[in-house]
Amino acid sequence: MMQSSPLNFRRVFILVGRILLAGLFIYAGYAKIRMPTVPQRPPLGVALTFFAMQVDSYQLLPKAAVNVVAYSLPFAEIALGVLLLIGWQLRVWTSLLTLVMAGFFFGVLRAYLLHMEINCGCFGVPEKVTLLKVFEDGSLLVLMALMTVFVFLEARKPHPWTAPASA
């Protein structure tokens, strides 16, 4: 009996989603650290201090937590992006990234609904929180959540290349 193809919609979705979202998270972390759109790139400490001001503008965290988030989030985004790209322990990393993306989405949504005139801080450049930014983050959250569901569904069955052939 012939085995099914190793490619199906869910597996292709997971693969494409991993590549896109890993690239997005890696670039977002890098942009917060290096600020690539600024002609004279500031040193690491200045860039992270600038990002800390953006985190603080959301008015969600105490000052001590703002610095912890601002100085660790960019590196966590890069690490999670790399782990997503590698594909090891996907259920863990897609679940964690879905929670991270949910936090980003609800922070941006709250800022938009409260009419806060702040910068998003998403990619290390000044970008106002607008309805478009809310939809952008919401779309990424849906993509991440769907990918997480697909990863869990795919983990429940053996991969066609490793499944024993039925006679």
Q: Letter for the amino acid at 135? A: F
| Beta carbons within 8 Å of 98's beta carbon, 6+ residues apart | 141, 144, 145, 148
Residue type, 130: T
For tokens 């006679």, what's the residue? Answer: 167
Q: Please list the pLDDT of the chain residue by residue as tens digits (167 residues).
A: 445 566 788 889 999 999 999 999 999 999 888 876 666 666 767 778 888 889 999 999 998 899 999 999 999 999 999 999 998 899 999 999 999 999 999 999 999 999 999 988 888 777 899 999 999 999 999 999 999 999 999 887 766 556 565 54
Cα 79 to Cα 143: distance, rounded to the nearest angstrom: 19
Largest CA distance in the chain: 66
The predicted structure's pLDDT at residue 4: 57
For the whole model, what pTM was predicted? 0.83
Residues 124, 51: Cα–Cα separation, whole Å:
7
- Residue whose entry in the numeric block shows the structure tokens 């965290």: 61
Choose among 15, 94, 152, 154: nearest CA to 163. 154
Instruction: Tell how many helices (H) and how many strands (E) occur in the chain.
Output: 5, 0
